[in-house]
Amino acid sequence: MAIYVASRRLSSGTALRAMRSYSTSSFREERDTFGPIQVPSDKLWGAQTQRSLQNFEIGGERERMPEPIVRAFGVLKKCAAKVNMEYGLDPTIGKAIMEAAQEVAEGKLSHHFPLVVWQTGSGTQSNMNANEVIANRAAEILGRKRGEKCVHPNDHVNRSQSSNDTFPTVMHIAAATEINSRLIPSLKTLHSTLHSKSFDFKDIVKIGRTHTQDATPLTLGQEFGGYATQVKYGLHRVTCTLPRLYQLAQGGTAVGTGLNTKKGFDVKIAAAVAEETNLPFVTAENKFEALAAHDACVETSGSLNTIATSLMKIANDIRFLGSGPRCGLGELVLPENEPGSSIMPGKVNPTQCEALTMVCAQVMGNHVAVTVGGSNGHFELNVFKPVIASALLHSIRLVADASASFEKNCVRGIEANRERISKLLHESLMLVTSLNPKIGYDNAAAVAKKAHKEGSTLKEAALKLGVLTAEEFDTLVVPEKMIGPSD
């Protein structure tokens, strides 16, 4: 094994532990401003990535920077090279960077991005991870060796850029891409299926419930129509956040002034990203806001928090309405997807509802992290960028996947238990509400209380109290006429 040269910032024990995590006996020397450091020969990253890998042993592989961020770096670095060639970057180097960055954007080099979320709050190490991987891969494309820096990670790949503007830019690229490609299609499908169910169930009159107690009737279609509208509004909410996500910080460099860029660079790179992604990205209206605050991400996370709130209500309603099969509400028959118990034979559980509600809890927790992170933009730079990005992207992916699973494996197959619905409807004491206009609230309450106390029907109680005739009761208490305003 090559002799390991430790950084002055690292203990030999830490360095060796990091090295042992890779199944290679071959290393090459890379250098940065701290001096030489050994890097596994089969890895494309360089010195700064290696230092970060050894400095931040937090959480293991599961805590790595999200894949959408890595791919977004590929998009951004490709576009930066394209624009920088207009401002004097050697075309030979620029084209090699573009080719290498495209491989990153396609996910072909994702195994060369080992860094975790828990690092510097600006995301500098992940920006350098991208710079180093792309520089070394571009060198290979040009027929040179890794580590030679014939393509320089800072001077070439990171030209006209700072981690302070690249990381917020990839945050927006990643989030907007995931919302458009995953979240919106999943929510649209869920909304469509719920809307179809509201139509299928439009003639099924059932008892309503408020405070978990019997209330006046409605149709099962009306109930599902409420769910469909919640999802429709959720779609609208998250879509309305996109214009702010489409604003890119790139061109602000270190503190928002654009130092070390040329005039027009910010506009051109935003246009290049828009062309590359087919999304309407533009340069940020104010680069100081774009670096120092992440209100757009907090806003987007807030819309996801609201969607999670809606989905929690919908999933809970559906599993409670499907409770049983003999001793619960039993108004809905839910799809039976798998055995539900390791000890109780024949038991089947509302697992899709349970999975969705757990996702909602996680999304709500993620929003707390995003909110705390967003509120900690001190002076010219927010330094909670990685956790904001990670939590936001986690929420987008979870809501998208859980919505798709819930629609496919639960909502699509829901059926109404018409017999059970009818039985509960006609047993409810709250049908007495339709008597209010005829006999008044107090008399109607007396009818309900007598029926409840004696275990009789409302009609029997009304006749015993002498407040109505049988014919009047039958005319007034018609559940099908209680599901909307009267003429």
* Segment 128-184, tens digit of pLDDT: 999 999 999 999 999 999 999 999 999 999 999 999 999 999 999 999 999 999 999
In this predicted structure, the answer to whether residue 10 has a pLDDT above a threshold of 70 is no
The residues, any chain, with a CB within 8 Å of residue 385's CB and separated by 6 or more, are 121, 122, 123, 167, 168, 171, 294, 373
What end-to-end distance do the CA atoms of the chain give, in Å?
A: 89
**Token duo for residue 118:** 């828990």
SS (H, E, C) the chain: CCCCCCCCCCCHHHHHHHHHCCCCCCEEEEEECCEEEEEECCCCCCHHHHHHHHHCCCCCHHHECCHHHHHHHHHHHHHHHHHHHHCCCCHHHHHHHHHHHHHHHCCCCHHHCCCECCCCCCCHHHHHHHHHHHHHHHHHHCCCCCCCCCCCHHHHHCCCCCHHHHHHHHHHHHHHHHHHHHHHHHHHHHHHHHHHHHHHCCCCEEEEEECCEEEEEEEHHHHHHHHHHHHHHHHHHHHHHHHHHCEECCCCCCCCCCCCCCCCHHHHHHHHHHHHHCCCCEECCCHHHHHHCCHHHHHHHHHHHHHHHHHHHHHHHHHHHCCCCCCCCCCEECCCCCCCCCCCCCCCCCHHHHHHHHHHHHHHHHHHHHHHHHCCEECCEECCHHHHHHHHHHHHHHHHHHHHHHHHHCHHHCEECHHHHHHHHHHCHHHHHHHHHHHCHHHHHHHHHHHHHHCCCHHHHHHHHCCCCHHHHHHHCCHHHCCCCCC
Q: How do residues 391-449 score in pLDDT, each as one tens digit?
A: 999 999 999 999 999 999 999 999 999 999 999 999 999 999 999 999 999 999 999 99
* Domains of the chain by residue range: 30-159, 172-246+286-419, 429-481
Instruction: Indicate the pLDDT class of residue 5, thresholds 50, 70 and 90.
Output: very low
What is the model's pLDDT at position 22? 56
Q: Name the amino acid, one letter, at 284.
A: A
> What would the two tokens of residue 24 be?
């290679």
Q: Mean pLDDT, to the nearest integer, of 196-215?
A: 98
Check if the beta carbon of residue 49 is closer than 8 Å to that of residue 128. Answer: yes
pLDDT of 200 over the 70 cut: yes
Cα four-point dihedral sign 326, 328, 334, 338: negative
- Confidence at residue 400, expressed as pLDDT on a 0 to 100 scale: 98
The answer to whether 292 and 381 have CB atoms below 8 angstroms apart is yes
Token digits for 218? 């409605």
Residue pointed to by tokens 């006996």: 25
The pLDDT mean for the chain works out to: 95
Q: Is the pLDDT of residue 67 over 60?
A: yes
The candidate with the shortest Cα–Cα distance to 308, out of 372, 365, 377, 247, is: 365
pLDDT for the residue numbered 21: 54
342 is catalytic: no
pLDDT > 80? residue 14: no
pLDDT of residue 127: 98
Contact 291, 249 (CB under 8 A): yes
| Percent of the chain surpassing pLDDT 90 | 94
- Please compute the mean of the pLDDT values over residues 382-394 and round it to a whole number: 98
pLDDT at 391: 98
Q: Which CATH architecture has domain 429-481?
A: Orthogonal Bundle (1.10)
Express each pLDDT in 273-302 by its tens digit: 999 999 999 999 999 999 999 999 999 999
HSE-CB of 199 using CA atoms within 13 angstroms: 5
Q: What is the mean pLDDT of residues 382-389?
A: 98
Q: What angle do CA 248, 250, 255 make, to 5 degrees?
A: 115
Output 2 or 348, whichever has higher pLDDT: 348
pLDDT at position 301 is 98
The number of CA neighbours under 13 Å toward the Cβ of 89 is: 28
Please report the pLDDT score of residue 24 as a whole number.
59
Handedness of CA 388, 393, 399, 405 (dihedral sign): negative
Active site residue 52: no
Q: Determine the pLDDT at residue 23.
A: 53
Residue 36 has pLDDT above 80, yes or no: yes
Burial class (CB in 10 A: 0-12, 13-18, 19+), 62: exposed
**Would you state the pLDDT for residue 49?**
98
Q: At what angle do helices 163-178 and 385-409 cross, to 10 degrees?
A: 10
Q: Which two tokens stand for residue 115?
A: 């860094």
pTM: 0.94
Q: What span, in angstroms and rounded, lies between the C-alpha atoms of 337 and 149?
A: 56
**What was the pLDDT predicted at 405?**
98
Query: Pick the catalytic residue: 11, 26, 341, 375?
Result: 341
| Structure confidence at residue 487 as a pLDDT band (50, 70, 90) | confident
Asked if residue 126 lies in contact with residue 112, where contact means CB atoms within 8 angstroms, the answer is no
Structural class in CATH, domain 172-246+286-419: mainly alpha
> Does the pLDDT of residue 76 top 60, yes or no?
yes
Q: Residue 487: exposed, middle, or buried by beta-carbon count in 10 A (0-12, 13-18, 19+)?
A: exposed
**pLDDT digit string, tens, across residues 462-480:** 999 999 999 999 999 999 9
CA distance 121 to 382: 7
Q: Tell me which CATH homologous superfamily contains domain 30-159.
A: Fumarase/aspartase (N-terminal domain) (1.10.275.10)
Q: What pLDDT sits at residue 2?
A: 36
Cα dihedral sign, 452-455-460-463: negative
Of 12, 211, 342, 486, the active-site residue reads 211
